[in-house]
C-alpha cells in the first residue's frame, strides 16, 4: 500500500506520490490528471448503458416473437376452418372450384398486406440505443463547452 508522504515544512496540498491526486487541484495538470481517471470510467459506463439497452431490446423482441408464433399457430387452425366454411358457403352460389379460388385470392391479398406491415416493425431503427446516443451527445457537448 502506498502512503501519502508530505515533504517536511510543506503547507501545500500536493503529495510526492504521483499515483495519488487531490480532488481540489484545479491546475491544468491536475485537471488533465483527473480527466485521465474519469474518461475511462465514463466510457465504461456508456458501454454498459448501451449493452443494457440492446439486451433489453433483444429480450423484448424475443418475447414478442414467441407470443406471435404461439398465437399464430392457434390462429392458423381457426382460420383454416373459417376459410373452409367460406368456400362451402360460396359454393352454394358458384362452382366449388371458383369459390375456393375467390377465397384463396382474397386471403393471399390480405396476407401480403399483413406481411408488409409486419416487416416495418423489424427495421434496424427499433434496435438503436436512443438513450446511449443522447447521453454521448450530451457528453460531447459538455467536453466542447469546457475546452472552448
Q: How far apart are alpha carbons 43 and 35 in whole angstroms? A: 12
Q: Which pLDDT value is given to residue 86?
A: 94
Q: pLDDT (tens digit, 9 = 90+) per residue, 87-137?
A: 999 999 999 999 999 999 999 999 999 998 888 777 766 667 778 888 888
Q: Which pLDDT value is given to residue 108?
A: 93
Q: Which pLDDT value is given to residue 35?
A: 82
C-alpha cell at 142: 459538455
Cα–Cα distances (Å) from 112 to 46, 49, 60, 89, 115, in that order, read 41, 38, 25, 24, 5
DSSP 88-120: HHHTTTS-HHHHHHHHHHHHHHHHHHHHHHHHH
Cα 144 to chain centroid, rounded: 27
Q: Which pLDDT value is given to residue 125?
A: 63
46 contacts 135 by C-beta, under 8 angstroms: yes
Q: Where are the domains of the chain?
A: 28-131
Q: Which pLDDT value is given to residue 144?
A: 76
Burial class of residue 103 (count of CB atoms within 10 Å of its CB; 0-12, 13-18, 19+)? buried
More confident residue, 143 or 90: 90
Cα 4 to chain centroid, rounded: 45
Buried b (16+ CB within 10 A) or exposed e, 43-65: eeebeeebeebeeeeeeeeeeee
Q: pLDDT (tens digit, 9 = 90+) per residue, 9-59?
A: 444 444 444 455 555 667 888 888 888 888 888 888 888 888 888 888 888
Q: Per mean pLDDT, which of 25-29, 60-64, 72-76, 131-135 is the most reliable?
A: 72-76
Cα 35 to chain centroid, rounded: 29
Amino acid at each position: 500500500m502506498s502512503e501519502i508522504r508530505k515533504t517536511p515544512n510543506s503547507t501545500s496540498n500536493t503529495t510526492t506520490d504521483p499515483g495519488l491526486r487531490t480532488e481540489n487541484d484545479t491546475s491544468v495538470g491536475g485537471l488533465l490528471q483527473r480527466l485521465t481517471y474519469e474518461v475511462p470510467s465514463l466510457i465504461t459506463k456508456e458501454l454498459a448503458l448501451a449493452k443494457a439497452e440492446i439486451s433489453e431490446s433483444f429480450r423484448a423482441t424475443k418475447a414478442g416473437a414467441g407470443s406471435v408464433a404461439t398465437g399464430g399457430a392457434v390462429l392458423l387452425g381457426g382460420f383454416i376452418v373459417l376459410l373452409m366454411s367460406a368456400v362451402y358457403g360460396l359454393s352454394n352460389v358458384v362452382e366449388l372450384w371458383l369459390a375456393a379460388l375467390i377465397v384463396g385470392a382474397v386471403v393471399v391479398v390480405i396476407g401480403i398486406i399483413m406481411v408488409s406491415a409486419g416487416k416495418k416493425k423489424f427495421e434496424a431503427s427499433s434496435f438503436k440505443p436512443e438513450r446511449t446516443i443522447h447521453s454521448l451527445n450530451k457528453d460531447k457537448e459538455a467536453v466542447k463547452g469546457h475546452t472552448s
